[in-house]
Structure 1
Amino acid sequence: MLFPTPALGTEDRRVLGEVEELRRGLRFRVQESPTKWTEGLRKFLTADAVAASNSIEGFKVSTVDVEDLIEGEQDVDVSEENREETLAYQRMMTYIQTLHDVQDFHYGKGFLNALHWMLQGHRHTPNKPAGQWRRGAVYVTDARDPTIAAYTAPEAAEVPDLMAELVEWLNTDDGTHPLVRAAMAHLHLVSIHPWADGNGRMSRSLQTLLIAREGELAPEFSSIEAWLGRPGNTWEYYRELRLRGATYRPGQDVSGWVRFNLTAYHQQAQTVSNRLGRSNRVWSLLGSFAEARGLDERLVSALHDVAMSGRVRRTRYERAEGISLQRAQRDLRDLAASDVLTPVGRTRARFYTAGPAFPREALESARTPLPLTDPYAD
């Protein structure tokens, strides 16, 4: 038995309507913005989702480090464990992103287990098998006291039937709004806890997949994983899951869970819209700076990375502009010689940050905090 999807109240329908309007507006703005402006945003959002979802599970890697790892950088100052977790999750998320427009797509037990192998295959052991249902009990311990089971998942013997029911539900369109279905899919999977490890990230990824399949926005603009990974929101996330009880009780009303997710959708759409607007303003400011200084237009992408992410590496700039290694090295050295950039580190580990001559207006625009509204607040 799965949780019944609750009916939306008047306020819920209003918030959902606002989310749809925000997403339509964002889609239009993305389509109207130059590809070079939005490509960096897409990569950032993917990295931010990976960093945030992993951070919930205790793997702490900054978004800018995730961006570098995704770009193939080897000299990133992170532990080997964090590197493996980041790249495994990124590979799975990349695959999920490619599924948004597959015509004959179908959910299945094998498909979900394959995704789990992509996420956890590097940790596979006989006691914690990857890509297979768990064979024993599994608990979510209390963050304040690991001797307390905050949640005990259903018996292992029940998992195959529960997952068969979930797969059937996933493949059946019951007329529920796709964003609400995505939230419910997350709750179903995380409550069943079918694997020995990785259940939280799998549940958040399944929600992202359902949102992506809805097709309103590209997958990297659709995930709420970055929102869930913010410290205050993570606490609220765990609180909402704890409210479902210490054991699997699928007959209960889960309206609070749906409202929590509607808030997440709303505020993440605000966040992405703000990020896009900030990115475009910074790009324009840097374009004017480059023109005034007689700099080649291609240098703006390197300066934009510095303003928005705090640094740029030679390889990232080289790939973004499709130029040779030697050209990229000369460009960055010239910017450093004119104090626009400051080099940090040596040889392959070197990156560049803002120098004394970096345009202050662009940095201020990139770093100015923007407000978020609570859609349920009066």
Structure 2
Amino acid sequence: MFKPRFGYTHQMVKLLLRIEQARALVEYIAVPPDLIQTMRREAKVKSVRYSTGIEGNPLSLLEVQAVIQKPRGCKGSAAQQEVRNYWNCLTFIDKAQRRHVPPNEAFIRRLHAMIAVRNAGRRQKSSAYRGSMPPGMLFAVRDSETGAIEYIPPCYEDVPPLMRGFSAWLVSDASGQLPTPIRAAIAEWQLLTIHPFSDGNGRTARALATYLLAADGYDLKGLYSLEEYHWRDLPRYYSSLQMNLLPHYYDGRNDPPDLAPWIIYFLETMTQACEQVISTLARGRPGLASGAK
């Protein structure tokens, strides 16, 4: 079974306390139901825009909103399909957390199956893991602009046992005893590290973290988009994921390494998002159109 490694730091504890304070305040601030509904939808639209945008989707926030408002079944570009996929995935997450669906291996493969839809027709219920590459080709994560190799994931033969160990940890008592924000941070990092699918790993990892936070009430009623805060400083997001490790999985990522740097980044980002929710609720003014890029 996967066993993450990290030690609590003073900074982590302070950030966790700030997140808990924001979580408690959301329950006590009197807010009109229509404002909550508006903010929740805006946060969901932002999650779609920025999680797909991190992977190179060119649609702006307002374009994403327009795609979502179109009737189901409308044809469109690959970028528009990607947006609809992630919207459907977040809708599924809303339902799954109300039903207390366990975040096991089957759940992760279901998330990816929704995210990776490309064409019209019958949808798959579960995604298969990536397989072997053609002779002479290397499966690697590359810089979208330069083509330089940034990460070489584990061999495809190692993916199934790694996913079994990871999903066993996700539903274990050891995982459940961790503060939920730390558990979500570790889950996102490990799924990205295993890179079990041929594509869509980033969106699936962020969707899994979103689910874990929502299931335990750390999404603040769905009023913020964590992906938006990743997007605001993409270089830091990527460098935090890398943690100065060598690019090959078997050169230190399989140990696993000390995850404290990534966890601190995740908690800092989440703290910013949560405290912005409190500020917006206090003012009573959401704003999708502001900075709609």
Aligned length: 273
Alignment partner of 2:63 out of 62, 65, 68: 65
Structure 1 position 144, deviation (Å): 5.0
Counterpart position of 2:34: 36
Counterpart position of 1:259: 264
Counterpart position of 2:123: none
Q: Percent identity?
A: 26
1:5–1:254 CA contact under 8 A, matched in 2: yes
Alignment partner of 1:98 out of 74, 84, 95: 95
Counterpart position of 1:250: 254
Counterpart position of 1:196: 198
Kindly indicate whether residue 120 of structure 2 is the aligned counterpart of residue 119 of structure 1. Answer: no
2:180–2:218 CA contact under 8 A, matched in 1: no
Determine which structure has more spread, i.e. the larger CA radius of gyration. 1
Could you say what secondary structure the match of 1:150 adopts? strand
Q: What is the rounded CA distance, in whole Å, between the counterparts of 1:56 and 1:22 in structure 2? A: 26
Kindly indicate whether residue 136 of structure 2 is the aligned counterpart of residue 131 of structure 1. Answer: no
Counterpart position of 2:141: 140
Q: Cα–Cα, structure 1 residues 222 and 185, in superposed 2: closer, same or farther, change >3 Å? A: farther
Opposite residue 58 of structure 1, the aligned amino acid is G
Opposite residue 70 of structure 1, the aligned amino acid is I
Q: What is the rounded CA distance, in whole Å, between the counterparts of 1:79 and 1:121 in structure 2? A: 13
Structure 1 position 102, deviation (Å): 1.8
Q: What is the rounded CA distance, in whole Å, between the counterparts of 2:76 and 2:69 in structure 1? A: 17
1:45–1:220 CA contact under 8 A, matched in 2: yes
Opposite residue 221 of structure 1, the aligned amino acid is L
1:59–1:82 CA contact under 8 A, matched in 2: yes
2:220–2:274 CA contact under 8 A, matched in 1: no
Opposite residue 276 of structure 1, the aligned amino acid is L
Counterpart position of 1:343: none
TM-score, length-scaled by structure 1: 0.67
2:43–2:224 CA contact under 8 A, matched in 1: no
Could you say what secondary structure the match of 1:82 adopts? helix
1:5–1:184 CA contact under 8 A, matched in 2: no
Higher relative contact order, chain-length normalized (CA < 8 Å, sep 6+): 2
Structure 1 residue ranges without an equivalent (≥5): 125-129, 283-307, 311-365, 368-378
Q: Cα–Cα, structure 1 residues 86 and 219, in superposed 2: closer, same or farther, change >3 Å? A: farther
Opposite residue 261 of structure 2, the aligned amino acid is G
Kindly indicate whether residue 87 of structure 2 is the aligned counterpart of residue 82 of structure 1. Answer: no
Q: Deviations over 1:73-92 (max 9, x none)?
A: 69x9x962221111011001
Could you say what secondary structure the match of 2:234 adopts? helix
Please give the residue correspondences for 1:311-322 in structure 2 after superposition, counting only pairs within 5 Å: none
Structure 1 position 222, deviation (Å): 5.5
Q: What is the rounded CA distance, in whole Å, between the counterparts of 2:104 and 2:259 in structure 1? A: 25
Q: Cα–Cα, structure 1 residues 39 and 192, in superposed 2: closer, same or farther, change >3 Å? A: same
1:97–1:219 CA contact under 8 A, matched in 2: no
Q: What is the rounded CA distance, in whole Å, between the counterparts of 1:8 and 1:219 in structure 2? A: 27
Counterpart position of 1:13: 13
Counterpart position of 2:53: 55
Alignment partner of 1:185 out of 184, 187, 191: 187
Please give the residue correspondences for 1:168-179 in structure 2 after superposition, counting only pairs within 5 Å: 168-174=168-174, 175-179=177-181
Q: Deviations over 1:166-202 (max 9, x none)?
A: 1101111311111100000001100000000000000
1:27–1:216 CA contact under 8 A, matched in 2: no
